[in-house]
């Protein structure tokens, strides 16, 4: 089996039957894994793995939630391999049979116990509450599930004070590196879309993902909306990507009630398909926008819904700027991990793409797909009126330079460096 290596020799050991893990260094981002007879690349996700590990140490139950196919199972198998009796996959009939008597099956286990696709068995939450209250504590539980409102409701009610919820999405640019940025933007972060051999393979995977999500996953998770209706609605949202959410306008276009439009967008938000970025309200005399701004969170799915299949088509598409803005907004939020995230806009036309609250201070991000961004009246207004500590204008260039007091032009590759790289004076 081949692998990408550093200059020094590394020792590779088998952690599970399918995955090879480097035990000497976490700097190797890309290893190889066998999957049904094929050899394909596997991106290492050390920061996410550390976050899950820290959660398990401090909490009795950790819920790792995110959309289907984002890599939750692969990550969990780094901790407990599927041959272990501590691993339960609720889509596997054998695991379901073992859990016919859940208290008996789980009570004697020690260490880390993983239950995958937990939303299929909500009756397990009371059992987990009892087991997590034992003294001494024999086991800690990592539960995996698709982003389901039902999952969150059950866990918050039954495991209140005992559970830590960690959100997981597809690959982010920090895990892939700046050289993969354009490919990541085009294909999105879902592993099988990003790692596909060709663009056509990636397009085919995304098409099948959307169809399966609408026709099977939503139904299994209790959402009773016709697949064709939700597809039309999702496509309409893709054309509204990066715009202020106007439920009544979308409802009229699709011939549905405004209440249905609001419910559908909440459904897609609940499954991490859509981000509703709330407006930032400052104590100003200006009339400020009060509706959220909408983004399709994964740009690969956005491009699929818009019919964009190649980089050439993307660069000539009318939604190019909106697509790039959404990509930067999503990656900055993942990289900075702010306490809160907003956008700001007034009815006079002033607007800032992203306001981040971090450690009690406000920071601004403006996305400009231009060779040489300039200071705008909106930027100056935001610095003065919102008391921003710093405003970074992210653009696809290579140089960082000062535009004005507390305003800097920052290359998009700085996202990889996190908070300090984006907002350094």
Share of the chain above pLDDT 70, in %: 87
Task: Say how many C-beta atoms besides its own lie within 10 A of residue 340's C-beta.
Answer: 11
Work out the percent of the chain whose per-residue pLDDT is above 90.
Answer: 71
> Is residue 391 within a helix (H) or strand (E), and if so which, with residue range?
strand 390-395
1 occurs within a structural domain: no
Q: Are residues 319 and 331 in the same domain?
A: yes
* Residue that terminates a domain, selected from 167, 190, 217: 167
Check pLDDT > 70 for residue 313.
yes
Residue 112's pLDDT is 95
pLDDT in tens, 33-56: 443 333 345 688 999 999 999 999
113 and 261 in a single domain? The answer is no
64 and 198 fall within a common domain: no
Note whether residue 120 is domain-resident.
Answer: yes
Confidence band of 209 (pLDDT split at 50, 70, 90): very high
Instruction: Reply yes or no on whether the pLDDT at 123 is more than 50.
Output: yes
Task: Answer yes or no: is 242 within a domain.
Answer: yes
pTM to 2 decimal places:
0.86
How many domains, in total, are found in the chain? Answer: 3
For CA atoms 83, 89, 94, 95, give the dihedral sign. Answer: positive
- Do 217 and 321 have their domain in common? yes
DSSP one-letter string for 264-331:
HHHHHHHTTSEEEEPBP--S-SS-B--S-EEEES-HHHHHHHHT--SHHHHHTSTTHHHHHHHHHHHH
pLDDT at 356: 97
Average pLDDT over residues 396-400: 93
Q: Which of 42, 90, 69, 64 is nearest to 142 (CA)?
A: 64
Q: In the listed set 143, 167, 191, which residue is the last one of a domain according to the structure?
A: 167
In this structure, are 278 and 371 located in the same domain? yes
Shortest CA distance to 222 belongs to which of 284, 150, 325, 307? 150
Question: Is 6 part of any domain?
Answer: no
More reliable by pLDDT, 410 or 425: 410
Same domain, 206 and 316: yes
Closest by alpha carbon to 51, among 167, 184, 134?
A: 167
Q: What is the mean pLDDT of residues 384-402?
A: 94
User: For 326-363, how does the pLDDT look when each residue is reduced to its tens digit (9 = 90+)?
Assistant: 999 999 999 999 999 999 998 888 899 999 999 999 99
Short-list 256, 343, 258, CA closest to 295: 343
The partner residues of 352 in beta bridges, in order of sequence, read 344
| 51, two tokens | 């976050």
Report the mean per-residue pLDDT for the chain: 86
| 65 within 8 A of 146, measured Cβ to Cβ | yes
| CATH of residue 113 | 3.40.50.300
2 assigned to some structural domain: no
Q: What is the pLDDT of residues 356-377, one digit of tens each?
A: 999 999 999 999 999 999 999 9
The model's pLDDT over 149-208, given as tens digits with 9 standing for 90+, comes to 666 666 767 888 889 999 999 999 999 999 999 999 999 999 999 999 999 999 999 999
Q: Is the peptide bond before 160 cis (omega within 30 degrees of 0)?
A: no
CA distance linking residue 41 with residue 49, whole number of Å: 18
According to the model, what pLDDT value does residue 217 have? 86
pLDDT of residue 19: 32
Residue-range definition of the domain harbouring residue 368: 173-423
The pLDDT of residue 34 is 41
Q: How far apart are CA 422 and CA 331, in angstroms?
A: 12
Task: Select, from the ranges 140-149, 222-231, 232-241, the one with the highest average predicted confidence (pLDDT).
Answer: 232-241
Taken in order 349, 345, 173, 116, the sign of the CA dihedral is negative
Whole-number pLDDT of residue 178: 94
User: Do both 304 and 270 map to the same domain?
Assistant: yes
If asked whether residues 23 and 60 sit together in one domain, one would say no
pLDDT confidence bin for 28, thresholds 50/70/90: very low
CA-to-CA dists, residue 19 to 44, 88, 189, angstroms: 11, 18, 20
What pLDDT digit, counting tens, does each position of 41-96 carry? 568 899 999 999 999 999 999 999 999 899 999 999 988 877 789 999 998 999 99
Task: Assess if residue 127 is contained within a domain.
Answer: yes
List own/partner pairs for 395-401 with CB under 8 A and 24 or more apart: 395/367, 395/368, 395/369, 395/370, 395/371, 396/324, 396/369, 397/371, 397/372
Domain boundary among 109, 138, 167: 167
How confident is residue 25, by pLDDT bands cut at 50, 70 and 90? very low
Same-domain pairing of 343 and 418? yes
CA pair distance 56, 140, nearest whole angstrom: 7
Considering the domain architecture, whether residues 34 and 115 belong to the same structural domain is answered as no
Q: How far apart are CA 387 and CA 364, in angstroms?
A: 10
* Of 332, 377, 379, nearest in space to 356 by CA: 332
End-to-end alpha carbon distance in the chain: 46
- 230 and 92 both lie in a single domain: no
**Residue whose tokens read 């894994």:** 33
CB neighbours (10 Å) of residue 208? 11
Instruction: With beta carbons less than 8 A apart as the criterion, state whether 258 and 252 touch.
Output: no
Under 8 Å between Cβ of 416 and 177: yes
Q: Is residue 7 part of a domain?
A: no
pLDDT for the residue 283: 65
135 contacts: CB under 8 Å, gap ≥ 6 = none
Same domain? 196 vs 84: no
Q: What CA–CA distance (Å, rounded) separates 314 from 53?
A: 39
- The span from the CA of 133 to the CA of 227, in Å, is 42
Position 121 confidence tier, pLDDT thresholds 50, 70, 90: confident
Q: Are 111 and 86 in contact (CB under 8 A)?
A: yes
Cα distance between residue 276 and residue 245, in whole Å: 8
Residue 410 near residue 394, CB atoms below 8 Å: yes
Does residue 4 belong to any structural domain of this protein?
A: no
* Contacts (Cβ under 8 Å, ≥6 apart) of 220: 120
Q: Is 185 exposed, middle or buried (0-12, 13-18, 19+ CB in 10 A)?
A: buried
pLDDT at 274 over 70: yes
């Amino acid at each position: 089996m081949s692998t990408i290596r550093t200059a020094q020799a590394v020792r590779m050991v088998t952690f599970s039957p399918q995955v090879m893990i480097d035990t000497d260094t976490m700097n190797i981002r890309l290893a190889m894994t066998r999957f049904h007879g094929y050899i394909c690349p596997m991106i290492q996700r050390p920061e996410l793995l550390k976050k899950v590990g820290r959660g398990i140490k401090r909490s009795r139950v950790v819920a790792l939630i995110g959309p289907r196919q984002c890599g939750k199972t692969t990550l969990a198998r780094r901790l407990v391999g599927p041959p272990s009796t501590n691993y339960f996959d609720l889509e596997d009939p054998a695991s379901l049979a073992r859990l016919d008597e859940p208290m008996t099956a789980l009570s004697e286990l020690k260490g880390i116990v993983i239950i995958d696709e937990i939303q299929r068995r909500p009756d397990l939450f009371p059992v987990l509450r009892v087991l997590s209250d034992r003294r001494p504590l024999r086991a800690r539980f990592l539960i995996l599930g698709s982003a389901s409102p039902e999952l969150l409701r059950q866990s918050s009610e039954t495991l209140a004070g005992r559970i830590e919820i960690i959100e997981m999405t597809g690959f982010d640019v920090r895990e892939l590196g700046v050289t993969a940025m354009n490919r990541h933007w085009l294909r999105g972060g879902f592993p099988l879309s990003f790692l596909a051999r060709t663009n056509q393979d990636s397009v085919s995977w995304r098409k099948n993902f959307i169809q399966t999500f609408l026709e099977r996953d939503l139904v299994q998770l209790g959402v009773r909306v016709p697949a064709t209706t939700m597809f039309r609605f999702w496509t309409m949202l893709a054309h509204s990507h990066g715009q202020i959410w106007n439920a009544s306008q979308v409802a009229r276009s699709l011939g549905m009630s405004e209440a249905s439009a609001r419910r559908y967008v909440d459904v897609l938000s609940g499954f991490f398909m859509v981000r509703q970025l709330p407006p930032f309200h400052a104590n100003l005399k200006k009339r400020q926008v009060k509706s959220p701004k909408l983004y399709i969170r994964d740009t690969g799915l956005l491009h699929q819904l818009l019919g964009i299949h190649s980089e050439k088509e993307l660069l000539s598409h009318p939604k190019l700027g909106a697509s790039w803005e959404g990509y930067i907004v999503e990656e900055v939020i993942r990289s900075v991990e702010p306490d809160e995230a907003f956008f700001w806009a007034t009815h006079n036309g002033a607007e800032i793409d992203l306001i981040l609250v971090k450690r009690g201070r406000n920071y601004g991000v403006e996305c400009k797909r231009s060779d040489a961004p300039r200071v705008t009246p909106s930027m100056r207004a935001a610095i003065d009126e919102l008391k921003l500590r710093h405003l970074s204008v992210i653009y696809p260039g290579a140089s960082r330079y000062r535009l004005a007091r507390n305003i800097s032009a920052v290359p998009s590759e700085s996202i990889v460096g996190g908070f300090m790289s984006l907002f350094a004076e």
